Amino acid sequence: MAAITFVSPRPWVSERPETLVVCCSDGRFHPHIEDFVREKVSERPDLFVVPGGPTAVYPLASSFGHARVFEEAMHLFSSAHAIRSIWLIAHEGCAFYVNRHGQLEEEELFRLQIDDLRRARDHILKKWRYEVLLVYARLEGGQVRFHEVDGERGLLPLTGS
pLDDT in tens, 20-60: 999 999 999 999 999 999 999 999 999 999 999 999 998 88
Which amino acid is residue 140, in one-letter code?
E
Check: CB of residue 124 under 8 Å from CB of residue 57: yes
Question: What integer pLDDT is reported at residue 161 of this predicted model?
Answer: 44
SS3 category, 43 = coil
What is the arrangement of strands in the sheet containing 143-150, beginning at the earlier edge strand?
46-49, 19-23, 85-91, 131-140, 143-150, 154-157
CATH code, domain with 117: 3.40.1050.10
- Whether residue 1 lies inside any domain: the answer is no
How much of the chain is in helix, strand and coil states, percent to nearest 5?
40, 25, 40
Check: CB of residue 20 under 8 Å from CB of residue 85: yes
Q: Say yes or no to pLDDT of 129 above 50.
A: yes
- Whether residue 13 lies inside any domain: the answer is no
Give the residue numbers spanning the domain of 112.
19-155
Looking at the structure of the chain, the number of domains it has is: 1
Average pLDDT, the chain: 90
- Its pTM stands at 0.89
- Whether residue 5 lies inside any domain: the answer is no
- Whether residue 42 lies inside any domain: the answer is yes
**Percent of the chain whose pLDDT exceeds 90:** 76
pLDDT in tens, 108-122: 999 999 999 999 999
- Whether residue 40 lies inside any domain: the answer is yes
Rg (CA), the chain: 16
Q: Say yes or no to pLDDT of 74 above 60.
A: yes
Q: For residue 137, how many other CB atoms are within 10 A of its CB? A: 22
Each as own residue / partner, the long-range contacts of residues 58-65 (CB below 8 Å, 24 or more positions apart, any chain) are 58/116, 58/119, 58/120, 58/123, 60/119, 61/116, 61/119, 61/120
